[in-house]
Chain A
């Protein structure tokens, strides 16, 4: 278990503000956020590389806030692997063993099991300069796990890998977590990675935690505009709520909520349906607009349209883009179901 209470870290030009977070024993937890949000700073506080100005960090029932890194029993894997270039694969993996004679993975051959489980048996004598990205990451994992750490920290473990290795390592992480039951805290800026691996996530922005919850919960019900945008709700507008309607500039959307006041609405691009002609049956949120921009991404295309001065982003498969013969300047209709309009 990792428990962080009111952690504040001040660096020149950046402050991690009053972060509280609990990762349950055996949980796979992901810290999500864009580059520069402070995710890595949280990891470094847990490892003991930065000095917190305030706050308490516990691992299990041990307070570690002021312990030196070597006394914390924390394994860390960095995105650039951070393997020791002067040591070969075996020496890298065995690096920490001498400091963990009682607890580490030497006892009863579990180191051999670990090496075999990670598919490194054939590579032990190899120089790390001759490894592929995926192999390097497996060595880094073996090195961290060899000391039998209380928790495993992963700093963007997939982002430096080629797509094929990324899938392999992603699956490996998932399997390893299931097999060992180790508590994992992973930092990433990629929501899909968290989606695949994590049970719960925290979204962090500019040094503050904006939302904590299950992956699905955060994905479906973001509580701030930033989180909404981060989980892919590209259309976010300030709105005035009035009964079952939300007013955005001159547009009025029917929503499932009722109530008053001001806030934001957020809509995923994939929930904005484009129609070449007006359908016969009535839709509450059917509106006419003009296409401003189309950016083709291969199998799908992002379409930006202007509806009475409000710009909305939609997404289409390339084949329907061609079937509908859409191009900048085309007049189209758009529709969005009230239940797909999220309000914040």
Chain B
């Protein structure tokens, strides 16, 4: 009777059907609302939205600020991810938890936390104002918030990628005469850059979808999620849908492109 509960036998038995049922429910649960939302607006409404300057600007701002967040994560996150992947040291577990914090904190709290050091009541906020950096209601503020929430996704993905590269390869490279820095560029980067790209995609995706923290730090300039929310509350479902569709389409296209370029080029001949 044990065979009934395994996949090795025929495609029957309660476990198979339970799995098939729950998988279908999950996929439908995710796709159905999205599909309905994408198909409900008329082509005319979509065209109108595409011609709307504010919509185009909001979507561009979303992508631009999220891309900046991914770039900042790349520059600062790569050495950190490499360190976490390669070294064992006291307090490493603590650092790893710190990196995960932005994922766990409620988003409005992230916004409030950033404002609490960027305002006039804090020495850092005053120092930044002196040199002309304004967080509240600026693109700088947007990038700051999005980097905060997107960074863990880059660091964790890049770290997993570095961990998958056998340390021995780096050791051999060193023994053959390459310095640590050269080894990174000749061995680690060629083997790990794909996971770095995936990390940037994840970071960007997370940043594009951020709403709660953005609303607190920079309602204006308006990124796409904020605009969608505003149109929803001010005019209703019908007016928010076309913008949402455009945001989804543009992001999908971008991610597909990046995925395409990061997998096709350096396949083994």
Contact = CB atoms under 8 A, between A and B. Distances in A.
B173 A95 contact: yes
B3 interface: no
Contacts of A147: 176-177
Interface stretch (B31-39, B108-116, B164-172): B164-172
A78 B168 contact: yes
A69 B174 contact: yes
Contacts of A157: none
A123 to B, nearest CB: 14
Contacts of A76: 171-172, 175
A275 B13 CA distance: 61
A85 B266 CA distance: 12
B172 A86 contact: no
A276 interface: no
Interface in A179-207: none
B187 A84 contact: yes
Interface string A292-303: 000000000000
Contacts of A78: 168, 172
Interface in B145-180: 166, 168-169, 171-180
Interface string A30-69: 0000000000000010011100000000000000000011
Nearest to A140: B172
A127 B267 CA distance: 11
A70 interface: yes
A68 B174 contact: yes
Nearest to A146: B176
Given A76-B172, A78-B172, A127 B177 contact: no
B191 A70 contact: no
A289 interface: no
Nearest to A47: B175
Contacts of B44: none
Contacts of B186: 95
B269 interface: yes
Interface string B21-32: 000000000000
A10 interface: no
Contacts of B179: 68, 70
A185 to B, nearest CB: 13
Interface of A: 12, 44, 47-49, 68-70, 72, 74-76, 78, 80, 82, 84-86, 95-96, 98-100, 127, 129, 143-144, 147
Interface in B180-217: 180, 186-187, 190-191
13 contacts: A48-B174, A70-B177, A70-B178, A75-B176, A76-B175, A80-B168, A82-B172, A86-B266, A96-B178, A99-B176, A127-B268, A144-B176, A147-B176
A214 B176 CA distance: 31
Contact of A69 (B175, B190, B268): B175
Interface residues of B, number: 21
Contacts, number: 67
A143 B176 contact: yes
A86 B191 CA distance: 7
A183 to B, nearest CB: 15
Given A82-B166, A84-B187, A49 B177 contact: no
A228 B89 CA distance: 39
Contacts of A127: 268-269
Contact of A129 (B172, B173, B176, B268): B268
Contact of A86 (B166, B168, B176, B190): B190
B168 A96 contact: no
A49 B171 contact: yes
B40 to A, nearest CB: 47
Contacts of B266: 86
Contact of A99 (B88, B168, B177, B191): B177
Given A86-B191, A86-B266, A129-B268, A75 B175 contact: yes
A70 B175 CA distance: 5
A68 B179 CA distance: 8
A74 B177 CA distance: 9
B152 to A, nearest CB: 27
A77 to B, nearest CB: 9
Contacts of A82: 166, 168-169, 171-172
Contacts of A70: 174-179
Given A86-B190, A129-B268, A47 B177 contact: no
Contacts of A100: 177
Contacts of A86: 190-191, 266
